[in-house]
Amino acid sequence: MNIVIVGAGKVGEALCRDLAHEKHDITLIEGSEDRLEQMIRIADITGIVGNGALYDIQSEAGVADCDIYIAVTPNDETNIIAAITARHLGARHSIARVRSPEYSLQMNFLRESLGISLMINPEYEAAREIARLLRFPAALHVNHFEHGRLNLVEYLLPPDAPFVGMKLRDLPREYTRLLIGALIREGRPAIPNGNTTLLAGDHLYLAGDDDLIAAFCQAAERRSVSIRRVLIVGGGRLTRYILDRLNHRHYQTKVIEVKPALADALAADYPEVEVICGDGTDQAFLREERMADYHTVIAATGVDEENMIVAISAARMGVPKTITKVNRTDLLKVLDNVGLQAIITPNRIVADQIIRYVRSLENSEGSAVVAYARLGDGALEAVQFHVSDSCKACHRPLSELAIRPGILLLAIQRGEQRITPGGGDRILPGDDVVVITGGLPLRDLDEILA
Amino acid sequence: MNRHMVAFVCGRILLLLVALLLPSLIVALVYGEGWTGVWPFLVTMLIAAAPGLALSLRRPTNTRIYSREGFVIVALSWFGFSVIGALPFLLSGVITCPIDAFFEAASGFTTTGASILLDVEALPHSLLFWRSFTHLIGGMGVLVFALAVLPSIESDDVSIMQAEVPGPVFGKLRARLSHTARLLYLIYLAMTAVLVVFLCLGGMPLFDALVHSFGTAGTGGFGIKNNSVAFYNSSYIDYCLAIGMFLFGVNFNLYYMLLYRRGREILRNEELRWYLGIALAAIIAISLDLIPHYSSFSHLIRDVVFSVSSVMTTTGFSIVDFAAWPLFSRIVLLLLMFVGAMAGSTAGGLKVSRVAIYAKTFIQELRLQVSPNRRLPVRFEGRPLGSHLLTRTGRYLFLYIGVFTILLLITSFNAPNFLSAFSAVAATFNNIGPGFDVVGPTGNFAGFNRPTTLVLAIGMIMGRLEIIPVLVLLAPRSWRRG
Question: pLDDT tens digits for B44-102?
Answer: 999 999 999 999 888 888 877 888 888 898 899 999 999 999 999 999 988 999 999 99
Could B480 and A294 be called an inter-chain contact, meaning their C-beta atoms sit closer than 8 Å?
Answer: no
pLDDT at B412: 92
Contacts of B65 in chain A (CB under 8 A): none
Cβ atoms of A380 and A183 closer than 8 Å: no
CA distance B99 to chain A (A): 38
Angstrom distances, CA of residue A4 to CA of A40, A47, A83, B235: 14, 9, 11, 101
B479 touches chain A (CB under 8 A): no
Contacts of A320 in chain B (CB under 8 A): none
Mean pLDDT of chain A: 84
Which SS3 state, helix, strand or coil, does residue B112 take?
coil
Confidence of residue A230 (pLDDT cuts 50, 70, 90): very high
Query: Worst-scoring range by mean pLDDT, A20-29, A408-417, B103-112, B207-216?
Result: A408-417
> Between residues B145 and A228, which one has the greater pLDDT?
A228
The interface predicted TM-score (ipTM) is 0.73
From A322, A144, A135, select the one nearest A247 (Cα to Cα): A135
Compute the distance between CA of residue B140 and CA of residue B111 in angstroms, rounded to an integer.
10
Could A290 and B480 be called an inter-chain contact, meaning their C-beta atoms sit closer than 8 Å?
Answer: no
Query: Percent of chain A, pLDDT > 90?
Result: 16
pLDDT at A337 over 60: no
A272 touches chain B (CB under 8 A): no
A351-371 burial by CB neighbour count: b if 16+ within 10 A, else e?
A: bbbbbbbbbbbbbeebbbbbb
pLDDT at B199: 94
Span B443-465, mean pLDDT?
91
A294 touches chain B (CB under 8 A): yes
Angstrom distances, CA of residue A95 to CA of A5, A108, A355, A358, B461: 9, 14, 11, 10, 67
B480 touches chain A (CB under 8 A): yes
Residue of chain A whose Cα is closest to the Cα of B1: A290
pLDDT at B156: 52
Which SS3 state, helix, strand or coil, does residue A115 take?
coil
Query: Worst-scoring range by mean pLDDT, A15-29, A285-299, B171-185, B316-330?
Result: B171-185
Concatenate the DSSP letters of all residues of A341-352 into one string: -EEE-HHHHHHH
State the greatest distance between any 2 C-alpha atoms of chain A, in Å, as a whole number. Answer: 65
Which SS3 state, helix, strand or coil, does residue A91 take?
coil
Angstrom distances, CA of residue B54 to CA of B4, B15, B100: 12, 10, 28
Residue of chain B whose Cα is closest to the Cα of A291: B482
Mark residue A331 as left, alpha or beta (left: phi above 0; alpha: psi -120 to 50; beta: remaining). alpha
pLDDT at B358: 93
CA dihedral B175, B178, B180, B184 (to 10 degrees): -170
Compute the distance between CA of residue A296 and CA of residue A232 in angstroms, rounded to an integer.
8
CA distance A273 to chain B (A): 12
Cβ neighbours around B60 below 10 Å, total: 16
Contacts of B6 in chain A (CB under 8 A): none
Confidence of residue A284 (pLDDT cuts 50, 70, 90): confident
Q: Which of A290, A291, A296, A319 best tests the B interface by mutation, with the highest count of B CBs <10 A? A: A290
A254 touches chain B (CB under 8 A): yes
Cβ atoms of B259 and B187 closer than 8 Å: yes
Compute the distance between CA of residue A43 and CA of residue A40 in angstroms, rounded to an integer.
5
B482 touches chain A (CB under 8 A): yes
pLDDT at A267: 92
Mark residue A167 as left, alpha or beta (left: phi above 0; alpha: psi -120 to 50; beta: remaining). beta
Q: Which of B1, B66, B69, B481 best tests the A interface by mutation, with the highest count of A CBs <10 A? A: B481
CA distance A309 to chain B (A): 20
Helix, strand, coil percentages (3-state) for chain A, rounded to 5, are 35, 25, 35
Compute the distance between CA of residue B253 and CA of residue B267 in angstroms, rounded to an integer.
13
pLDDT at A366: 65
- Bridge-partner residues for B259, per DSSP? none
Full-model pTM? 0.80
Type of residue at A430: G
Compute the distance between CA of residue B31 and CA of residue B211 in angstroms, rounded to an integer.
15
Query: Between chain A and chain B, how many beta carbons pairs sit less than 8 Å apart?
Result: 13
Angstrom distances, CA of residue B449 to CA of B405, B416, B418: 19, 12, 17
pLDDT at A166: 85
Q: Report how far Cα B8 is from the mean position of its chain's Cα atoms.
A: 26
Q: Where are the alpha helices (DSSP H) in A136-236?
A: 210-221
Cβ atoms of A216 and A168 closer than 8 Å: no
pLDDT at B471 over 90: yes
The enclosing H or E element of A257 equals strand A252-257
Compute the distance between CA of residue B252 and CA of residue A422 in angstroms, rounded to an integer.
85
Span B162-181, mean pLDDT?
69
Query: Worst-scoring range by mean pLDDT, A251-260, B156-165, B376-385?
Result: B156-165
pLDDT at A18: 84
Give A285-303 pLDDT, tens digit per residue: 888 888 888 989 999 998 9
Span B442-446, mean pLDDT?
84
pLDDT at B421: 92
The enclosing H or E element of A94 equals strand A93-97
pLDDT at A415: 77
pLDDT at B463 over 80: yes
State the greatest distance between any 2 C-alpha atoms of chain B, in Å, as a whole number. Answer: 75
Could A293 and B64 be called an inter-chain contact, meaning their C-beta atoms sit closer than 8 Å?
Answer: no
pLDDT at B397 over 70: yes
Could A229 and B64 be called an inter-chain contact, meaning their C-beta atoms sit closer than 8 Å?
Answer: no
pLDDT at A363 over 90: no
Residue of chain A whose Cα is closest to the Cα of B62: A287
Compute the distance between CA of residue A168 and CA of residue A78 in angstroms, rounded to an integer.
52
pLDDT at B480: 84
B388 touches chain A (CB under 8 A): no
Query: Percent of chain B, pLDDT > 90?
Result: 52
pLDDT at A182: 83
Contacts of B66 in chain A (CB under 8 A): 288
Q: Where are the alpha helices (DSSP H) in B260-317?
A: 263-268, 270-290, 297-312
Residue of chain B whose Cα is closest to the Cα of A230: B482
pLDDT at B27: 93
Give A6-37 pLDDT, tens digit per residue: 998 888 888 888 888 888 889 999 989 899 99
Compute the distance between CA of residue B457 and CA of residue A87 in angstroms, rounded to an integer.
78
Contacts of A252 in chain B (CB under 8 A): 480, 482
Cβ atoms of A240 and A265 closer than 8 Å: no
Residue of chain B whose Cα is closest to the Cα of A293: B482
| Nearest CB to A293; choose among B64, B66, B481 | B481
pLDDT at A391: 81
Q: Could you tell me which residues come within 8 angstroms of residue B46 by beta carbon, excluding any fewer than 6 positions away?
A: none
| Residues within 8 A of B (CB atoms), A 46-65 only | none
Give B212-257 pLDDT, tens digit per residue: 999 999 998 888 888 888 888 899 999 999 999 999 999 888 888 8
Compute the distance between CA of residue B241 and CA of residue A106 in angstroms, rounded to an integer.
78
Could B482 and A294 be called an inter-chain contact, meaning their C-beta atoms sit closer than 8 Å?
Answer: yes
Most confident of A339-343, B121-125, B194-198, B431-435: B194-198
pLDDT at A355: 83
Contacts of A287 in chain B (CB under 8 A): 64
Compute the distance between CA of residue B137 and CA of residue B52 in angstroms, rounded to an integer.
18
pLDDT at A258 over 90: yes
Contacts of A231 in chain B (CB under 8 A): 482
From B196, B304, B187, B197, select the one nearest B250 (Cα to Cα): B187
Could B481 and A290 be called an inter-chain contact, meaning their C-beta atoms sit closer than 8 Å?
Answer: yes
Q: What's the angle, vertex CA B264, arms to CA B262 and CA B269, rounded to 5? A: 105
| Residues within 8 A of A (CB atoms), B 59-88 only | 64, 66
pLDDT at B154 over 60: no
Q: At what angle do helices B3-30 and B125-140 cross, to 10 degrees?
A: 140
Mean pLDDT of chain B: 88
pLDDT at B373: 86
CA atoms within 13 A on the CB side of A435: 30
Q: Could you tell me which residues come within 8 angstroms of residue A54 by beta carbon, excluding any fewer than 6 positions away?
A: A85
pLDDT at A335: 60
In angstroms, the first-to-last Cα distance of chain A is 25
Could B482 and A288 be called an inter-chain contact, meaning their C-beta atoms sit closer than 8 Å?
Answer: no
Cβ atoms of B141 and B74 closer than 8 Å: no
Q: At what angle do helices B270-290 and B297-312 cross, to 10 degrees?
A: 140
Residue of chain B whose Cα is closest to the Cα of A286: B482
Compute the distance between CA of residue B69 and CA of residue A135 in angstroms, rounded to an integer.
33
In angstroms, the first-to-last Cα distance of chain B is 8
Give A383-412 pLDDT, tens digit per residue: 888 888 888 888 888 888 888 877 888 888
CA distance A229 to chain B (A): 7
pLDDT at B183: 84
A2-41 burial by CB neighbour count: b if 16+ within 10 A, else e?
A: bbbbbbbbbbbbbbbbbbbebebbbbbbbeeeebbeebbe
A288 touches chain B (CB under 8 A): yes
Cβ atoms of A197 and A167 closer than 8 Å: yes
pLDDT at A164: 86
Cβ atoms of A242 and A344 closer than 8 Å: no
B374 touches chain A (CB under 8 A): no
pLDDT at B169: 63
| Nearest CB to B482; choose among A229, A287, A288 | A229
Type of residue at A167: K
Give B11-45 pLDDT, tens digit per residue: 988 998 999 999 999 999 999 888 888 999 999 99
- Give the strands of the sheet with A432-437, arranged side by side: A368-375, A380-386, A432-437, A407-414, A417-419
Type of residue at B91: L
Angstrom distances, CA of residue A318 to CA of A321, A339, A422, B477: 9, 12, 42, 22
Domains annotated for chain A, with CATH where assigned, are 2-120 (3.40.50.720), 126-221 (3.30.70.1450), 229-344 (3.40.50.720), 362-448 (3.30.70.1450)
pLDDT at B155 over 60: no
pLDDT at B312: 93
- φ and ψ of B10, to 5 deg: -60, -40
Cβ atoms of B427 and B112 closer than 8 Å: yes
Compute the distance between CA of residue B95 and CA of residue B107 in angstroms, rounded to an integer.
14
Confidence of residue B438 (pLDDT cuts 50, 70, 90): confident
Residue of chain B whose Cα is closest to the Cα of A294: B482
| Nearest CB to B482; choose among A287, A288, A293 | A293
Span A53-76, mean pLDDT?
89
Concatenate the DSSP letters of all residues of B323-363 into one string: GGS-HHHHHHHHHHHHH-S-TTSS--SS-HHHHHHHHHHHH
Residue of chain B whose Cα is closest to the Cα of A290: B482
pLDDT at A339 over 60: no
| Residues within 8 A of B (CB atoms), A 333-392 only | none
Compute the distance between CA of residue B104 and CA of residue B86 in angstroms, rounded to an integer.
7
- Bridge-partner residues for A153, per DSSP? A142, A206
From A54, A117, A108, select the one nearest A82 (Cα to Cα): A54
Cβ atoms of A71 and A83 closer than 8 Å: yes
The enclosing H or E element of B472 equals helix B468-474
